[in-house]
């Protein structure tokens, strides 16, 4: 039986103090991190972790880092990134992460707004972004690079390698061997540890300030419900700029000391998850949607005997899951069938997805549809919804074992209160609520009133004490019959189809609901190949009449059991996927509804007119600077015809 590592969190406790305590406890006897590099898993012990963090921290101090100075990081998930972050915090600085795929304007805004003094960039690509915006960010003093590839001819005096920073730290450590511990001991729980920039679905991102106490209380409260253990494995693949990754790698990872594993490349995440077989997993719905799509596509490609076994296992799994959802006993014969289903199908399927060892899997950051949620429970995966936001350090509510309802997000964490305002807004009070927005006191006053965090989400608490999140206040529809409706509920139902990558539902105060569909190019392309349909591009494939008929069937399926005013009556297949680089999605893959409504105004008008086509003449710009003209007629299709 594994033992929980219970640590009392007080206002005097900090992440650096916790880190130092855990590093001295585990030393060389335990692996802190692994990274797959050149096909081999490289291990880093807690002693190595401590040495690197210490030298980075002291190196930053040698370069002039002062308490509360901002240190920004940009790059993939890798040990050096986490070490740089923890090193910056240990030195008394505030850590700021940027999404690696951020465009130059996004990098400039965050670096300038945050008053970043040091930027730690992984590769030449990130260094180039920093150099381009350097003159417009007067507070930025040094750009620190890690990967030497392509950096040979970079001679600017504001550039320095992470290796050189560590050398400076090592030198200072020899001169003052007690300095690191002295700096760490001076920290206080109310000191700012992180500056996280929100996704900014409607406006410029706001910088949320989180303290050590905020982050550690959230992690401690989550671990009191779903404890992790020292021997657990966790795979870090979500962007460090997202609070969801930080709450696992920092808040929970530091407290429990489990091993953090880093994928070889972003493209190998699924493969590396299968290799590691993590015990705990946190991912946004999009990750689970992709897993579901992979299984569905595999099913379509299977021989008839395998499809028969899958259907059997699926039916048994759904029946068992439904009984557990309803808190009813599972009959002996159903338990027997469930074991057969596990041996014949579920075991291999879970292993293929990397979920064989999962004890708790979480999803949050956006709504997950009931179809996807039931799918994983039918597979025997203990998937839980969470609810939270950056401003509450990640989580304020979560499902409990044995008390999971697919249409809710669970009940509040210990030490957290949730109530519903008169207008239906969800309010939260917790020790993990942030201290405010950086350089934006007006937004802070609007968001936190009398210690209650105003979420701008609509919801209610059901008879079992579970929180039901309806949708963002600004996104709630009013249907033709006057009833409120959450578009994301229908969008997630549409995305349960393997052929639908993204869906955008429109219909606020309209006569009927319409949808803009982004097909999954690889899945629909494979389907088209089997049907002997010729196509040369995404836009050509999306407008094939056969593809429209295929998507129409998926929409009719999603419409089932919905009231008539909430059913999709018309739809159009978009000529491209929604893209964060086109400002259609946030970096956490949330739809910018206001932006796409303006961009695709002509499409929306056509969906609510008598026409059966809409002409598109626009220019799209690729990441490498190339431009392409799109001149195409999109078909408007009715689901009732």
CA-closest candidate to residue 85, choices 15, 158, 179, 7? 15
Residue 621 reports pLDDT greater than 70? no
Q: Are 355 and 361 spatial neighbours (Cβ–Cβ below 8 Å)?
A: yes
Out of 167-171, 258-262, 333-337, 561-565, which region has the weakest mean confidence (pLDDT)?
Answer: 561-565
CA-closest candidate to residue 585, choices 430, 403, 366? 366
Q: Quick one: pLDDT at residue 623?
A: 56
Annotate 493-531 with b (16+ C-beta within 10 A) or e (fewer). bbbbbbbbbbbbbbbeebebbbbbbbbbbebbbebbeee
Out of 5-9, 161-165, 464-468, which region has the weakest mean confidence (pLDDT)?
Answer: 5-9
Q: Quick one: pLDDT at residue 589?
A: 77
Q: Are 568 and 506 spatial neighbours (Cβ–Cβ below 8 Å)?
A: no
Q: Are 124 and 147 spatial neighbours (Cβ–Cβ below 8 Å)?
A: yes
CA-closest candidate to residue 241, choices 620, 593, 606, 588? 588
pLDDT in tens, 536-568: 999 999 999 999 999 999 999 999 888 999 999
**In the beta sheet, which residues pair with residue 211?**
192
Q: Are 463 and 341 spatial neighbours (Cβ–Cβ below 8 Å)?
A: no
Residue 611 reports pLDDT greater than 70? yes
**In the beta sheet, which residues pair with residue 614?**
634
Work out the mean pLDDT of the chain and round it to a whole number.
92
Q: Tell me if 15-188 shares its fold with 283-474.
A: yes
Task: Give the whole-angstrom CA distance, residue 262 versus residue 588.
Answer: 19
| 15-188 CATH fold | Rossmann fold (3.40.50)
Q: Quick one: pLDDT at residue 145?
A: 95
What percent of the chain has a predicted confidence (pLDDT) above 70? 97
CA-closest candidate to residue 255, choices 208, 221, 207, 306? 221
Q: Quick one: pLDDT at residue 4?
A: 53
CA-closest candidate to residue 102, choices 85, 84, 114? 114
Question: How many other C-beta atoms can be found within 10 angstroms of the C-beta atom of residue 430?
Answer: 25
The CATH classification number of 283-474 equals: 3.40.50.12780
Annotate 273-303 with b (16+ C-beta within 10 A) or e (fewer). bbebbbbbbbbbbbbbbebbbebbbeeeeee
Q: Kindly state the tokens that stand for 111.
A: 């670096």
pLDDT in tens, 16-70: 999 999 999 999 999 999 999 888 999 999 999 999 999 999 999 999 999 999 9
Averaged pLDDT, 495-518: 92
Domain parsing of the chain, residue ranges: 15-188, 283-474, 476-638
| 476-638 CATH fold | GMP Synthetase; Chain A, domain 3 (3.30.300)
Q: Quick one: pLDDT at residue 301?
A: 85
CA-closest candidate to residue 126, choices 52, 73, 49? 73
Q: Quick one: pLDDT at residue 108?
A: 95
pTM of the shown model:
0.88
pLDDT in tens, 111-137: 999 999 999 999 999 999 999 999 999
Task: Give the whole-angstrom CA distance, residue 415 versus residue 433.
Answer: 11
Out of 131-135, 390-394, 577-581, which region has the weakest mean confidence (pLDDT)?
Answer: 577-581
Residue 437 reports pLDDT greater than 70? yes
């Amino acid at each position: 039986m594994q033992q929980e590592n219970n640590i009392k969190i007080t206002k005097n406790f900090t992440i650096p103090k916790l880190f130092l305590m855990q590093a001295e406890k585990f030393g060389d006897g335990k692996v802190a991190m692994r990274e797959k590099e050149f096909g081999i898993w490289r291990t880093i012990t807690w002693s190595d972790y401590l040495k690197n963090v210490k030298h980075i921290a002291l190196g930053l101090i040698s370069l002039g880092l002062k308490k509360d100075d901002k240190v920004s990081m940009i790059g993939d998930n890798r040990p050096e990134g986490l070490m740089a972050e923890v090193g910056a915090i240990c030195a008394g600085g505030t850590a700021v992460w940027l999404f690696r795929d951020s465009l130059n304007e996004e990098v400039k805004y965050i670096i300038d707004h945050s008053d970043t003094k040091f930027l730690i960039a992984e590769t030449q690509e990130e260094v180039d972004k920093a150099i381009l915006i350097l003159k417009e960010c007067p507070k930025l003093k040094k750009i620190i690079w890690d990967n030497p590839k392509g950096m040979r001819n970079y001679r600017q005096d504001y550039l320095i390698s992470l290796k050189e920073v560590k050398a400076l730290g090592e030198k200072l450590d020899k001169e003052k061997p007690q300095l690191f511990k002295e700096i760490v001991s001076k920290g206080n729980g109310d000191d700012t540890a992180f500056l996280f920039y929100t996704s900014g679905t409607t406006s410029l991102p706001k910088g949320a300030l989180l303290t050590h106490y905020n982050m550690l209380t959230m992690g401690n409260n989550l671990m009191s419900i779903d404890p992790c253990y020292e021997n657990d494995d966790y795979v870090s693949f979500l962007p460090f700029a997202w609070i969801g990754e930080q709450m696992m790698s920092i808040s929970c990872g530091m407290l429990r000391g489990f091993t953090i594993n880093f994928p070889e490349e972003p493209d190998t995440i699924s493969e590396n998850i299968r290799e590691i077989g993590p015990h705990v997993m946190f991912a946004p719905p999009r990750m689970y949607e992709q897993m579901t799509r992979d299984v569905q596509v595999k099913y379509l490609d299977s021989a008839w005997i395998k499809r028969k076994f899958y259907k059997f296992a699926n039916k048994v799994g759904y029946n068992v899951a439904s009984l557990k959802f309803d808190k009813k006993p599972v009959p002996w014969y159903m338990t027997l069938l469930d074991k057969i289903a596990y041996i014949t199908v579920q075991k291999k399927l879970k292993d293929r997805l990397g979920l064989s060892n999962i004890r708790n899997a979480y999803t949050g950051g956006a709504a997950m549809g009931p179809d996807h949620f039931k799918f994983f429970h039918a597979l025997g995966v203990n998937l839980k919804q969470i609810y939270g936001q950056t401003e509450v350090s990640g989580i304020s509510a979560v499902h409990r074992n044995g008390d999971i309802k697919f249409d809710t997000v669970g009940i509040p964490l210990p030490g957290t209160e949730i109530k519903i305002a008169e207008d239906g807004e969800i309010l939260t009070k917790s020790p993990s609520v942030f201290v405010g927005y950086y350089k934006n006191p007006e937004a802070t006053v609007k968001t936190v009133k009398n210690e209650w965090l105003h979420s701008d989400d609509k919801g209610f608490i059901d008879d079992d004490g579970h929180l039901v999140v309806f949708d963002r206040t600004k996104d709630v529809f009013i249907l033709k019959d006057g009833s409120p409706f959450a578009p994301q509920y229908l969008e997630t139902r549409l995305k349960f189809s393997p052929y639908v990558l993204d869906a955008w539902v429109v219909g606020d105060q309209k006569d009927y609901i319409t949808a803009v569909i982004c097909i999954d190019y690889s899945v629909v392309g494979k389907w088209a190949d089997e049907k002997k349909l010729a196509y040369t591009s995404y836009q050509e494939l999306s407008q094939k009449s056969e593809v429209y008929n295929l998507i129409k069937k998926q929409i009719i399926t999603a419409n089932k059991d919905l009231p008539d005013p909430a059913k999709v009556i018309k739809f159009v297949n978009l000529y491209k996927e929604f893209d964060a680089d086109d400002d259609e999605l946030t970096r956490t893959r949330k739809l910018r509804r206001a932006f796409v409504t303006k961009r695709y105004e002509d499409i929306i008008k056509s969906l609510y007119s008598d026409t059966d086509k809409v002409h598109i003449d626009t220019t799209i710009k690729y990441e490498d600077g190339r431009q392409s003209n799109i001149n195409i007629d999109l078909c408007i299709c009715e689901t009732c015809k």
